[in-house]
């Protein structure tokens, strides 16, 4: 997207949010239906995705692992953010985005209580093609990291809560 096209799209939103900060607050939602066995179907807005156990925890490999979905969300958000930042900075860029994370399933399977449940480390990598100089590329990555919602959520986790509604 061209720099001016993005600014044209975003400027009215920025003005609205400056004038009315409450208008900038949104609640995003995701819903799933518990499936047969150990699965949960999640509507993505474009397709239904069936999440299930990773083969390393007893899954059959036919359902997507929620850990994969987390990394995919990071890649998607970082890629979109990088594109927006590149447009804003007037940088012509192409390439790929990669995320990988390390899990120790002993925590998830309660094999070893001292092992944390969840990712131990997540690495995000950009393989980019651009004729921009090193300083502009460093700014591109720095600003992408700063404004990527998923990256920042993982870097500084929000308060989490769980509730239950039971129906008979």
Residue pLDDT, tens place only, 24-63? 888 877 777 777 777 788 888 788 889 998 999 988 888 9
Residue pLDDT, tens place only, 96-134? 999 999 999 999 999 989 999 999 999 999 999 999 999
Strand pairing class (32-34; 39-43)? antiparallel
Instruction: Please give the pLDDT value at position 11.
Output: 87
Rounded to an integer, the average pLDDT of 59-82 is 92
Rounded Cα distance, 114 and 1, in Å? 48
**pLDDT: is 28 or 89 the higher one?**
89
Confidence of residue 84 (pLDDT cuts 50, 70, 90): very high
Domains recognised in the chain with CATH numbers: 3-17+65-155 (3.30.300.20)
Question: Among 53, 28, 52, 54, which residue's Cα sits nearest to residue 40?
Answer: 52
Q: Is the pLDDT of residue 2 over 80?
A: no
Q: Alpha-carbon dihedral of residues 39, 40, 41, 44, nearest 10 degrees?
A: -130
124 by Cβ neighbours in 10 Å (0-12 / 13-18 / 19+) ranks as: buried
- Tokens 């003005």 correspond to what residue? 15
């Amino acid at each position: 997207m061209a720099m001016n096209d993005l600014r044209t799209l975003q400027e009215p939103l920025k003005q609205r949010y400056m004038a009315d900060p409450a208008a900038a607050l949104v609640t995003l939602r995701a819903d799933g239906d518990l499936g047969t066995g150990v699965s949960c179907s999640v509507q993505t807005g474009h397709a239904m995705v069936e999440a299930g156990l990773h083969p390393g925890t007893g899954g059959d490999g036919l359902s997507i692992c929620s850990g994969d979905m987390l990394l995919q969300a990071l890649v998607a958000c970082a890629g979109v953010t990088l594109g927006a930042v590149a447009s804003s900075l007037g940088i012509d860029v192409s390439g790929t985005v990669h995320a990988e994370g390390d899990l120790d399933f002993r925590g998830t399977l309660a094999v070893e209580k001292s092992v944390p449940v969840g990712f131990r480390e997540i690495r995000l990598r950009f393989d980019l093609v651009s004729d921009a100089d090193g300083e502009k590329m460093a700014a591109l990555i720095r600003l992408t990291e700063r404004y990527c919602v998923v990256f920042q959520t993982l870097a500084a986790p929000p308060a989490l809560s769980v509730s239950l509604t039971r129906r008979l």
